[in-house]
Amino acid sequence: MQKRKLGNTGLEVSALGFGCMGLNFLDGKGLNKKDAITLLRNAVERGVTFFDTAEAYGPYTNEELVGEGLQPYRKDVVIATKFGCKDASPAIGLDSRPETIRAVTEASLKRLKTDYIDLLYQHRVDPNVPIEDVAGTVKDLIQEGKVKYFGLSEASSTTIRKAHSIQPVSALQSEYSLFWREPENEIIPTLEELGIGFVPFSPLGKGFLTGIINKKLEAVDRRNVIPRFTEENIKANLVLVEALSEIAQQKNISTSQLALAWLLAQKPWIAPIPGTTKLHRLEENISSTDIILSTDDLAKIDTTVNGITLVGDRYPDFLEKQIDR
């Protein structure tokens, strides 16, 4: 698979990464440990070198899974994890105090079975801790060899600039897809100016852009708390999937592949991290890196999406309040 550099700090990853959260912590489903490890290793064998986890996924169990699954390939892969949630739970609140960052890093190193973390993100910006203190703490961890690169997640342009002035930010991880294009307004121009890579999570709109969601979700599905995934809003937003599906069919590719190829075409320093629990979906996603969208294709997609008004907030209130503005 092609490689991409995330910003100007030297961090190189596969063009498409792997979001590990769903392996055992999403949508009320998941894989048993053996199958999850097998899928992780299948991803490596197919060229994926970039894997994303967090202490909050589980909590803790996802890091343990990723650590065991990737241990045979440790020197060949980039592992990203995160700090910043109180007691590893976004529902409880945020905590990016320097002592917490250090404690979380030490615990993550053990769970990941490694002596360094490639990319350490602040999971959410903590309004009670100056971002300069956060960046300074990670800078110290980098100097100690426990962390290689610093990242932020869902941070505003102002916060990114402040952090970057203390410790160069290698990557920002935020939601970005044909289902959510807000980063185009301020975030992407800021990243381009500062030389910071972009790692879109939920690049398939939390599964909506796959085209397989067309009715009320199962009761155990974690997406039920997201306003965009109420039964009424799913029906209203299907117009987007139907329009994209028509374009995809004309190119003989899936809607998922179209959505990922579109993301990859936006900037050469964007590396999406779709997740899946199925090998055939993993292979489908990876194939999107070989799809070249022409200028006309991209213009057609933009015109189509810009003509559609989507409904529903992307987060429930308690998570929306944690977003840095």
Q: So which residues are the catalytic ones?
A: 57
Cα gap 132→227, rounded to integer Å: 34
Instruction: Indicate left, alpha or beta for 39 from its phi (over 0: left) and psi (-120 to 50: alpha).
Output: alpha
- Between β-strands 197-201 and 78-83, what pairing exists: parallel, antiparallel or unpaired? unpaired
Based on the number of CB atoms within 10 Å of its own CB, is 184 exposed (0-12), middle (13-18) or buried (19 or more)? exposed
Q: Is the dihedral of CA 154, 157, 161, 162 positive or negative?
A: negative
Q: Could you give phi then psi for residue 153, rounded to 5 degrees? A: -135, 135
Alpha carbons within 13 angstroms on the beta-carbon side of residue 256 total 22
The partner residues of 51 in beta bridges, in order of sequence, read 18, 79
Q: Where are the beta strands (DSSP E) in the chain?
A: 3-6, 11-14, 18-19, 50-52, 78-83, 117-122, 147-153, 169-175, 197-201
Extract the tokens encoding 16: 């498409």
Of 247, 233, 166, nearest to 205 (Cα)?
233
